[in-house]
Amino acid sequence: MWMRAFVRAARAVLVLLLLLPAAAPAAIGDTLFSFPSPCAVPSGLAHAGGRLWLADWETGTLYEMTEDGAVLRTIEAPCRRPEGLASDGKILYISDSETHRVFAFDPETNRTLWSYEAPESSPRGLAFGGGSLWLLDDGADTIYELVPEDGTILNYYKAPHDFGRDLAHDGKYLWAVDRKLDEIYAVRPSDGKVLFLAKAPGKFPSGLAFGGGFLWLSDFETKRTYKIRASADVPFRVTGLVLRDFRYRYALRNDGEGSIAEAAIHLAVPYDTLENQKIVSPIRWTPEPDRFAVDRCGQEIAIFNFRNVPPGATVSAEYETRVRLGTLHYAFFPEDVKGLDAIPKEIREKGTAPRSRLQLDAELVRKTAGEIVGDEKNPYWIARKIFDWVIETLEYDRVGGWDVPTTLIKRGTGSCSEYAFLYIALARSAGLPARYEGSVVVRGDDASIDDVYHRWCEVYLPGIGWMPVDPSGGDQPWPADQVRYFGGLADRFLITTHGSGDSEYLGWDYNAHATYVYEGRGTVHEEGYGIWSPVAEE
C-alpha cells in the first residue's frame, strides 16, 4: 500500500516539475536579489571580508552591512561628502567630493591614517586591486591607477563614458558603472579597453563593488543594493523585445523606349535568429514567388520572374510580416574563447574562403592583417584588434560604390558595407571565420521608411559561436560606445541576409537584387524600401 502511495506522489511531483517553466540560463548582469539601502543618498560601495560598506553622501555616514543588508554598525566618515569606497581588506579608501581628497581610513580604530589630493577635482569611484588604487574622475572622464599610499599616478586612460560613477576590481578586471546610461562595463586594467557591457538594474547606479564572486551595486533612485552575476552560463542576453509590422517592396520601372525582355527580382527571406529576431506571422508574398532557392552561403532566396515589360510599366515583388525584435548583448571574457584550432572544419573552410572582392591574395591585405594581429593567438583579441584598427583607420563616408579592401586601406574612408568588407578580409586573412549580415532599419520613429539599409559583420569565436561585429557603427569616440557594436545589436534591425559575397542570386547585394535583359533603347529604374509600423502589445 505504501509503495503505491509513494509512486503516486512521485508521479505528481514529476508532473509538477514538468509543468514548471525552465529557469533561464544566467548571463552576466543578471540580478540575483536586492535589499533596501539603509540611507537616503547611497553613494560609494565596497566589499571586504564578507561584509559590505556603504557610504551616505548626505550625512557622511559609513554603514557596515551583511551581504543580505543587515546593518552591523554605523561610523562617521572622515569627510563630509564621501563618494567612492574601496577596501584592501583592512583599510577603507574614501574619495571626498568636497575637499577633492582621498582618505585612507581604518574602520576598526575610526582613524584616518593618511590622505592626499586627488588627481582631478571630481573624484567619484574607487576600487582596490592588483596592489593599486583605481580612481574614476567624472569631470575629467578619466580612470587613474594610483599608488595607494601617496596617490602617485601609475597609469591613466579615458573612462568608458562621460557619466562614470564608481569602480570595482575582481582581481583581474576592472568594472565601471555609468549613471546616465545605467550600464556596467568590464574593463581591461592595463589600457582601459572595454570588453563588454551589461545593463544596470536601477536608474541611478551610485556605488559598485566586487566580492564573493559577485558584483554589488547601490542605486540612488531605487534606494536599493543589488547582488549581480559577474559570470555566465550563456555568453549573451536579449532584452527589450518589440513587436513590429514590416513590409518590403522592390520594383523595376521601364523608363525607356524599348521593352524589358526578361527580368528577375531576388528577395532575401528573413529568418529567426538566436533570440533577438523572431518571424511571428507567416510571410505573405505579392505576387507569389516563382520559386525558392538557397545560395552558397545558406541564404534562402525568393525568386520572381517577369517577361516583356513594356515602356512605362512597373513590375514589383514584395512581402509583409510581423516580427519581434530585441536588443542583443554578448558578455563574456576573452579567456572564455577557445583557440583557433577549436574552430569546426566546415566553419573554418567556408568562413575563411576567398571571395572576389575580399582580395585575400593581395599582399597589402595579408601584410596589414599580420601587422594588426602580430603574435596574438586568442581569437577574441584577434577579432578585437582588427575591429579597433578598422575604426581607427576608416572614416565613414558614402563615396559611391563598394570598393575593395586595398582601396579602403589606401583611401581611409568607406560606407558601412566597405567597413564590413575590410573587416571580413582582414579577419579571414588572420584565419578567423567572418561573414556579413544585411538588414532593413527602423529609422528613428517606430513608423518609418528605410531605403538606405545597413550591413555589418559576424565573426566566429570558438566556444562562443557567431557574434555580431559592426565596425562602422563602432566608429565612436567613447570606449563604451565602441564595444556596444562589438557583440551588440540593437532592436531596430530586421536581418534579411547573411553571406560573404559572390551569391548566385544576390551577388554582393543584400535584401534584394535584380537582373534584366533589355531590347531597344532602355532605362530601368530600380527602387527598394521597407516600411515599418508599430504594433500595440496586447
pLDDT tens by residue, 109-133: 999 999 999 999 999 999 999 999 9
**Separation CA 138–CA 126 (nearest Å):** 12
pLDDT tens by residue, 233-257: 999 999 999 999 999 999 999 999 9
Q: Tell me what percent of the residues of the chain surpass a pLDDT of 70.
A: 95
Q: What is the average per-residue pLDDT within 438-448? A: 95
Task: Give the cell for residue 333.
Answer: 571574457
DSSP letter string, 253-270: EE-SSSEEEEEEEEEEPP
Best CA proximity match to 469, nearest among 511, 501, 514, 424: 424
DSSP letter string, 325-352: EEEEEE---GGGSPPGGGS-HHHHHHHT
DSSP letter string, 282-302: --EEES--SEEEE-TTS-EEE
**Which residues are CB-neighbours of 1 under 8 A, at least 6 positions away?**
none
Look at residue 109 in the predicted model and tell me its pLDDT: 96
pLDDT tens by residue, 340-368: 999 999 999 999 999 999 999 999 999 99
**Separation CA 383–CA 1 (nearest Å):** 65
Torsion of CA 56, 59, 60, 62, to 10 degrees: -50
Confidence of residue 5 (pLDDT cuts 50, 70, 90): very low
SS3 for 99-118 is CCEEEEEECCCCEEEEEEEC
Partners of 518 in beta bridges? 260
**Separation CA 53–CA 379 (nearest Å):** 39
Containing 30, the helix (H) or strand (E) segment is none
Look at residue 398 in the predicted model and tell me its pLDDT: 76
**Separation CA 240–CA 251 (nearest Å):** 34
Class of domain 31-234: mainly beta
Q: What is the average per-residue pLDDT within 360-378? A: 97
Q: What CATH code is assigned to 235-538?
A: 3.10.620.30
What value, to the nearest 5°, has the Cα angle with vertex 182 and ends 179 and 188? 85
Judged against a pLDDT cut of 90, whether residue 232 lies above it is answered with no
199: left (phi over 0), alpha (psi -120 to 50) or beta: beta
Pairing of strands 71-76, 61-65: antiparallel
| φ, ψ for residue 351, nearest 5 deg | -80, -10
DSSP-derived 3-state class of residue 151:
coil
- Chain-centroid distance, C-alpha 27: 13
Judged against a pLDDT cut of 80, whether residue 491 lies above it is answered with yes
Spans of all domains in the chain:
31-234, 235-538
Confidence of residue 400 (pLDDT cuts 50, 70, 90): low
Tell me whether domains 31-234 and 235-538 share a fold. Answer: no
Helix then strand then coil, in percent of the chain rounded to 5, is: 15, 45, 40
Q: What is the average per-residue pLDDT within 186-196? A: 98
Look at residue 368 in the predicted model and tell me its pLDDT: 98
Judged against a pLDDT cut of 50, whether residue 25 lies above it is answered with yes
Q: What is the average per-residue pLDDT within 172-181? A: 97
| φ, ψ for residue 405, nearest 5 deg | -55, -40
DSSP-derived 3-state class of residue 206:
strand
Lowest mean pLDDT among 8-22, 38-52, 360-374, 398-412: 8-22
- Chain-centroid distance, C-alpha 473: 11
Task: Give the cell for residue 329.
Answer: 548583448
Radius of gyration of the chain (CA): 28
Q: What is the average per-residue pLDDT within 459-481? A: 97
**Separation CA 25–CA 327 (nearest Å):** 17
Containing 538, the helix (H) or strand (E) segment is none
What are the contacts of 342-350 at 24+ separation with CB within 8 A? 342/462, 342/463, 343/379, 343/433, 343/460, 343/462, 347/433, 347/460, 348/431, 348/433, 350/297, 350/433, 350/500
Confidence of residue 505 (pLDDT cuts 50, 70, 90): very high
**Separation CA 460–CA 382 (nearest Å):** 11
Look at residue 14 in the predicted model and tell me its pLDDT: 35
Containing 4, the helix (H) or strand (E) segment is helix 2-19
* Average pLDDT over the chain, rounded to an integer: 94
Q: Cis peptide before 354, with omega less than 30 degrees from 0?
A: no
Lowest mean pLDDT among 14-18, 110-114, 448-452: 14-18
Q: Tell me what percent of the residues of the chain surpass a pLDDT of 90.
A: 92
Look at residue 253 in the predicted model and tell me its pLDDT: 97
